């Protein structure tokens, strides 16, 4: 069986839902993972933020506007009176729940329950729509099988056992619909797989049912070789290996949630990125194979903090790095890039919530410099470290102020750290010279 995930834009309008119906209605049985309608999760975040800030009136205004939007969509989507009424009843229960939340004390659990409403609504509506279209479908509630442990990692054994027994127990249907993003935590409270987490839901399910393939349907024709939001002349990449895709997703390629390929990599279950607005376009296939060597794609990750830790002697003072790493371990802060010299080590983090505490501990044995607003630019490709064309990178960078460079950590990745204000020109320059093959 295949698992197909459709993002917010794909279910964001009645026309797009009709496209999704065409794509999935090919006679094969499949699991369809849906995001919330586009914009909804952002609105839910705003609602939660307003409750947190004790602005219930503002929260109610957003709830009211969103609810009106849903009524319009339902009236356009469902002509059958019975389905139209039952769907409106369900959706108004969701909105009543949101209204009740505006009177409650804010907590993380409350926020997670608020954020879960988008996927609950989109799946209910889409299921009703398929029924109206005469397609047999059933909703598999994600909260019955999707769970994370206390480290916020998927509980694979639990998920595998539960989704397979649910699939065996429900009536046979052509389409099994489920909610992306939402899950329970280790204490059975509603939680989620972080923003954009529906991709991750799809590959977790793919691994749990040993799917033939996972397809991620978005509104762009696959993973591009550079960030199309900032760079002109980017192109879709037709094939990527799991390693390449994992690096790109982690280092900022917005099309995929950072953890997406991890669950399916071991079993070699292919992931295909497809475009709902142009289903014939080839998209990107992510598999275990490496098709070519050399720099294939570039991604960038913002909000990076660089920390330089300077001590009289570092390399021969054994135990120095251990002392440094233990501090980051204590504050559960992971390090992305690292470079060393005899007297100093520079490293980067993207979660700076414990920065002050980390710095004050580091200061007990070293002098510290901190640079905020940095971006990691990550160049990815199979065996790029050994590829003959890679030298061009250093020529291109001759006028770029690079704060750190990480080369050789793996054969597939070269990372540069630049000030975020230099990110876009650097990305464009790299694109022009590396992919458009403008001569240097
Ligand atoms: N609806 C969630 C979000 O907007 C999850 C997703 O779409 O993947 O982040």
Q: What is residue 228's three-state secondary structure?
A: coil
CA gap 337, 305 in Å, rounded: 10
| 8 Å CB contact between 149 and 188 | no
pLDDT digits (tens, 9 = 90+) for 225-282: 998 889 988 999 999 999 999 988 888 777 788 899 999 999 999 999 999 999 999 9
Confidence at residue 280, expressed as pLDDT on a 0 to 100 scale: 93
**Whose Cα sits closest to atom 8 in ligand 1?**
196
The CATH class given to the 297-438 domain equals alpha beta
Q: What is the CA radius of gyration of the chain?
A: 24
CA gap 103, 101 in Å, rounded: 5
CA gap 90, 316 in Å, rounded: 67
CA gap 440, 425 in Å, rounded: 16
- 273 pairs with which residues across the strands? 216, 284
Q: pLDDT tens, position by position, for the chain (440 residues)?
A: 999 999 999 999 999 999 999 999 999 999 999 999 999 999 999 999 999 999 999 999 999 999 999 999 999 999 999 999 999 999 999 999 999 999 999 999 999 999 999 999 999 999 999 999 999 999 999 999 999 999 999 999 999 999 999 999 998 999 999 999 999 999 999 999 999 999 999 999 999 999 999 999 998 889 999 988 899 889 999 999 999 999 888 887 777 888 999 999 999 999 999 999 999 999 999 999 887 888 899 999 999 999 999 986 665 667 888 899 999 999 999 999 999 888 889 999 999 999 999 999 999 989 999 999 999 999 999 888 888 878 888 888 888 999 999 998 888 899 999 999 999 999 999 998 888 766 65
Q: Cβ of 24: how many Cβ atoms within 10 Å?
A: 22
Q: What is residue 273's three-state secondary structure?
A: strand
Distance 196 CA to ligand 1 centre (A): 4
Distance 202 CA to ligand 1 centre (A): 12
CA gap 191, 185 in Å, rounded: 6
| 8 Å CB contact between 73 and 14 | yes
Predicted TM-score of the model (pTM):
0.89
Give the CA distances from residue 215 to residues 199, 260, 270, in Å, rounded to whole numbers and listed in that order: 9, 11, 8
Ligand 1 pocket, mutate which of 181, 192, 255, 259 (most atoms under 8 A from CB):
181
Distance 181 CA to ligand 1 centre (A): 6
Reading phi first (left if > 0) and then psi (alpha if -120 to 50, else beta), residue 181 is in: left
The topology (CATH level 3) of 2-219 is: Carbamate kinase (3.40.1160)
**Whose Cα sits closest to atom 5 in ligand 1?**
196
Structure token pair of residue 402: 């690079």
Q: What are phi and psi of 160, to 5 degrees?
A: -60, -45
Q: For the chain, where do the domains classified as CATH 3.30.2130.10 start and end? A: 297-438
**With a 6 A CB cut-off, is 10 part of the ligand 1 pocket?**
no
pLDDT digits (tens, 9 = 90+) for 278-317: 999 999 999 998 878 888 999 999 999 999 999 866 656 6
The contacts found for 269-272 with CB under 8 angstroms, 24 or more apart, are 269/203, 269/206, 269/207, 269/210, 269/211, 269/212, 269/213, 269/214, 270/213, 270/214, 271/203, 271/206, 271/213, 271/214, 271/215, 271/216, 271/245, 272/213, 272/214, 272/215, 272/216
Structure token pair of residue 55: 């602005």
CA gap 157, 197 in Å, rounded: 19
What is the helix (H) or strand (E) element at residue 25, kind and residue range? none
pLDDT digits (tens, 9 = 90+) for 110-130: 999 999 999 999 999 999 999
Residue whose tokens read 């479908």:
137
**With a 6 A CB cut-off, is 263 part of the ligand 1 pocket?**
no
| 8 Å CB contact between 173 and 136 | yes
| 8 Å CB contact between 253 and 231 | no
CA gap 350, 352 in Å, rounded: 6
Q: For the chain, where do the domains classified as CATH 3.40.1160.10 start and end? A: 2-219
Where would I find the H helices in 78-190? 81-101, 108-115, 117-132, 156-169
Mean of all residue pLDDT scores within the chain:
93
Residue whose tokens read 């135990």:
319
Sign of CA dihedral 104, 107, 113, 118: positive
Q: What is residue 343's three-state secondary structure?
A: coil
């Amino acid at each position: 069986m295949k698992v197909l995930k459709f993002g917010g834009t794909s279910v964001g309008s009645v026309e797009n839902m009709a496209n999704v119906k065409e794509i999935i209605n090919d006679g094969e049985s499949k699991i369809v993972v849906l995001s919330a309608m586009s914009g909804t999760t952002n609105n839910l975040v705003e609602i939660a933020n307003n409750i947190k800030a004790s602005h219930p009136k503002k929260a109610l205004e957003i709830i009211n506007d969103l609810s009106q939007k849903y009524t319009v969509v339902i009236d356009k989507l469902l002509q059958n009176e019975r389905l139209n009424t039952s769907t409106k009843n369900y959706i108004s229960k969701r909105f009543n729940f949101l209204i009740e939340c505006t009177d409650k004390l804010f907590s993380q659990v409350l926020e997670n329950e608020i954020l879960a409403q988008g996927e609950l609504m989109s799946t209910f509506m889409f299921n009703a729509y398929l029924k109206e279209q005469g397609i047999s479908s059933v909703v598999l509630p994600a909260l019955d099988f999707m769970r994370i442990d206390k480290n916020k990692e998927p509980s694979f054994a639990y998920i595998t056992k539960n989704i397979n027994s649910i699939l065996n127990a429900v009536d046979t249907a052509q389409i099994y619909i489920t909610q992306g993003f939402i899950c329970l935590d280790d204490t059975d409270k509603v939680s989620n797989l972080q923003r954009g987490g529906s991709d991750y839901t799809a590959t977790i399910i793919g691994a749990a049912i040993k799917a033939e393939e996972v397809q991620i349907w978005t509104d762009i024709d696959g993973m591009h070789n550079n960030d199309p939001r900032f760079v002109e002349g980017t192109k879709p990449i037709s094939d990527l290996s799991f390693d390449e895709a994992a690096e790109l997703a982690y280092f900022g390629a917005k099309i995929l949630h950072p953890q997406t390929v991890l669950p399916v990599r071991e079993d070699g279950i292919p992931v295909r990125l497809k475009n709902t607005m142009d289903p014939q376009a080839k998209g990107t296939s992510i598999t275990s194979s490496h098709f070519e060597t050399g720099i294939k794609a570039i991604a960038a990750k913002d909000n990076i903090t660089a920390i330089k830790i300077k001590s009289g002697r570092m390399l021969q003072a054994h135990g120095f790095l251990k002392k440094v790493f233990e501090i980051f371990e204590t504050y559960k802060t992971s390090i992305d890039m690292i470079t060393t010299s005899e007297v100093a080590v520079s490293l980067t983090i993207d979660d700076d919530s414990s920065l002050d505490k980390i710095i004050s501990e580091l200061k007990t044995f070293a002098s510290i410099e901190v640079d905020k607003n940095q971006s990691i630019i990550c160049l990815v490709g199979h065996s790029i470290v050994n590829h003959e064309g890679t030298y061009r990178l250093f020529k291109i960078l001759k006028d770029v102020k690079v704060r750190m460079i990480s080369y050789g950590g793996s054969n597939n990745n070269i990372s540069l750290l630049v000030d975020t204000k230099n990110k876009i020109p650097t990305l464009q320059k790299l694109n022009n010279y590396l992919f458009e093959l403008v001569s240097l």
